[in-house]
Each structure stands twice: as C-alpha cells, then as structure tokens.
C-alpha cells in the first residue's frame, strides 16, 4: 500500500496537550454553572497529571479560582470571547503533512446552524495569532468546509470512521454528494478508505450522530461501541443495526475488527428530555483514558472494565459527566488533543 503523504494521527498518538474551553456566565451553562465547573475542574486536574493543558477562557483569574492549587506550569491560558465550550468541535484538527505539523481550521457553525458559533468559529484562528502552537506548526484555513472533530475517528493508518447522518446533514456540506465528501476527506486526511456508519443515534443529541458518541477506535484493530440490549429502549433497533454494520467492517488487511461493547447508559432525563449519556465519549491521553461516568455504579463499572480491556496498558480514570450531558455532550466533546510537537 502506498505510504500516506498526510497522516491523520489516531487519538492514542503521543500528545503535547489537551484543550478545554472553559464555561462562563454567557454560555448555555449559565443556569447550572456552579454544577458543571467541578466537572471541568476534574477533567483539567486529570489531564495535567499526564500532559499539558490548554485552557481557552474569558477570564484566567476565574479559572484559577476554580482550579485552586494545581501545577500551573502544566497549564497554558488563552483569553478570548467564546460562545460555548465544545472544544472537540471548534478545536483545530491536527495532521502531519510529510512530517510537518499542520492544524486544520475548519468551519464550525454550531452543528448545522443550530446554535450561535460566531466566536467559537474564531478560536483556532485566535490561538494561532496568540502564538499558542509550536513555531513550525502550519495553520490552514479550511473554509468553506464544515467539519467537527467529534464527527470523525482515525486509526492513524489511513482509515476513517464516520457517520452519514452527520457529514451529509443540512447546513453543513449538503451541496456535496457522498462520493464528493469521500474524495475530499481522503484528500485532506491522507485516507485510503472510509467506514461509513448509516445507523446509530442517541436521543437528545444535537450533533446529528457524531461518531464519538457511538463508536470509537481503541487501536488499529479494535472498536468500542455502544450496545443496547433492552428491546424496549428507543435506541434498540438503530444501535443493533449499527452493531451489525460494525461486524461487517474489516480492517485494511481484510481481517474483522475486535469489537468491544460498551453498555447503554442508564436513562437520564432532565426537564422532561432524555439526555445523550454515552460511555463511548471517552478521551485517550498519555498513559490514561478519561471515561465519563453518570452516577450509575453498575453501568459505570461495566464500562470501566470494558475500557480497561480495550486499553490494558492505560489507567482508566472516571469523571462524573452527569452535569455535562445536561447540555447534550460529554467528556470527549469538551476536549481536543494535540499531538507531540504541536504545543510548546
């Protein structure tokens, strides 16, 4: 197989830093700000045990008060105005082009213009202007293509996992046919092939079925995915169809993937709406996996054991993300990792 000129590294590639975009009183978190900040604080403290943390915020002092006495040598603060906190989707996407570190700055339009994103769409550009990235990192403006990091999963070897529902959705890139989308993605990410999921969704999800809520690469040959066993659950039919799709996928060498089921999270409702609680929304960092928990001891433990099996050499660290899903996202959604060499 021809060697890729462009490499889209897998999440388990050694990292230089993780980005968090901090909640504040002018975000949708305002009604539950005091409830959700401890979740961000827990994520931050877990990350800095393993690597640097880039915090985008409107007020550095407010974040310092929330974090308390931590190792601030591990934290890079960048102040700017933001609409919200979903770094996975407004953050830069890292690739290597013939070994050169490149940050792609795609359009972020609030998941198909559902929510205001005028300031969040500028975050990566402003980070570049503030000399956040290493000196040899090349930023590339990817307008007009709309792409969120939560919608794509890379195995680091030229295979991408994504969903038709999101990539071809209204107000993103609907002017492109699926074949044109595939050609574009292969070109900019140096891909040999794309695995398209046509099934799978979570109630309460605003992202049009981001793949990082449903199925995740854990290694080149392993995929963890949400499995629903309850035939009375509204997700049962779609997630069973997704499971069957995953079983039909093969690796580049023709071998089947090792599939690791993650439990369907216990039903969580808030203000009369079911929330998209999912254990697939974990974050891989240096030496660890940060796993969302939902104050459901039995399911949380089943998920932890499944991820420990998937990542035998990494510490599995649970983070209570019940507050996060009140705004319809979870742990992976609020973070973005940058590979080694991207952040000083």
**Looking up tokens 């490499």, which residue turns up?**
7
Distances (CA, A) of 173 to 80, 167, 182, 195, 328: 28, 7, 12, 18, 23
CA angle 141, 82, 123 (to 5 degrees): 20
Q: What is the pLDDT of residue 235?
A: 96
- Rg of the chain's alpha carbons, rounded to an integer? 19
Q: What is the pLDDT of residue 344?
A: 82
Q: What is the pLDDT of residue 3?
A: 62
Task: Give the residue extent of every domain in the chain.
Answer: 6-339
From CA 320, how far away is CA 7, in angstroms rounded? 33
From CA 235, how far away is CA 266, in angstroms rounded? 12
CATH T-level topology, domain 6-339? 3.75.10
From CA 255, how far away is CA 252, in angstroms rounded? 7
Give the per-residue SS3 of the chain. CCCCCEECCCCCCCEEEEEEECCCCCCCCHHHHHHHHHHHHHHHHHHHCCCEEEEEECCHHHHHHHHCCCCHHHEEEEECCCCCCCHHHHCCEEEEECCEEEEEEEECCHHHHCCCCCCHHHHHHHHHHCCCECCCCEEEEEEEEECCHHHEEECCCCEEEEEHHHHCCCCCCCCCCHHHHHHHHHHHHCCCEEEEECCCCCCCCCCCCCHHHCEEEEECCEEEEEECCCCCCCCHHHHHHHHHHHHHCECCCCCECEEEEEECCCCCEECCEECCCCCCCCEEECCEEEEEECCCHHHHHHHHHHHHHHCCCCEEEEEECCCHHHHCCCCHHHEEEEECCCEC
Q: What is the pLDDT of residue 168?
A: 79
Please provide residue 236's backbone torsions phi and psi, each rounded to the nearest 5 degrees.
Answer: -55, -50
How far apart are the two ends of the chain, measured CA to CA in Å? 34
pLDDT along the chain (344 residues), means of 10: 81 98 96 97 98 98 96 97 97 97 95 89 96 95 95 97 88 88 96 96 90 98 97 96 98 97 95 94 98 97 98 98 95 98 92
Q: What is the pLDDT of residue 174?
A: 85
Q: Estimate to the nearest angstrom the gap between the alpha carbon of 319 and the chain centroid.
A: 15
Q: pTM of this prediction?
A: 0.96
């Amino acid at each position: 197989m021809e060697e890729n000129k462009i490499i889209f590294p897998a999440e388990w590639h050694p990292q230089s830093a993780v980005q968090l975009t901090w909640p504040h009183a002018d975000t949708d978190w305002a009604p539950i700000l005091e409830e959700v900040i401890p979740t961000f604080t827990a994520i931050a403290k877990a990350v800095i045990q393993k690597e640097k943390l880039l915090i985008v915020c409107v007020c550095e002092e407010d974040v310092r008060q929330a974090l308390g006495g931590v190792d601030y040598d591990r934290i890079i603060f960048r102040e700017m105005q933001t609409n919200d906190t979903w770094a996975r989707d407004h953050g830069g996407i890292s690739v290597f082009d013939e070994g050169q570190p490149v940050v792609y700055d795609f359009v972020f339009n609030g998941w198909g213009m559902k929510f205001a994103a005028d300031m969040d769409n500028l975050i990566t550009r402003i980070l570049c202007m503030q000399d956040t990235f290493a000196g040899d990192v090349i930023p590339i403006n990817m307008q007009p293509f709309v792409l969120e990091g939560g919608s794509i999963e890379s195995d680091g070897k030229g295979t991408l996992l994504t969903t038709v529902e999101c990539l071809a959705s209204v107000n993103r890139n609907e002017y492109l046919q699926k074949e044109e989308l595939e050609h574009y993605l292969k070109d900019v990410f140096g891909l040999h092939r794309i695995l398209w999921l046509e099934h799978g969704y979570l109630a309460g999800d605003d992202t049009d079925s981001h793949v990082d809520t449903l199925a995740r690469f854990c290694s080149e040959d392993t995929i963890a995915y949400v499995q629903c066993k309850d035939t009375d659950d509204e997700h049962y039919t779609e997630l069973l169809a997704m499971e069957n799709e995953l079983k039909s996928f093969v690796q580049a060498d023709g071998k089947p993937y090792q599939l690791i089921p993650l439990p369907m999270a216990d039903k969580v409702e808030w203000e009369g709406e079911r929330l998209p609680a999912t254990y697939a929304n974990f974050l891989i960092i240096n030496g660890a996996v940060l796993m969302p928990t939902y104050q459901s001891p039995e399911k949380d433990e089943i998920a932890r054991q499944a991820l420990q099996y998937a990542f035998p050499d990494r510490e599995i660290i649970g983070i209570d993300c019940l507050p996060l899903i009140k705004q319809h996202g979870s742990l992976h959604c609020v973070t973005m990792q940058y590979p080694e060499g991207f952040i000083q």
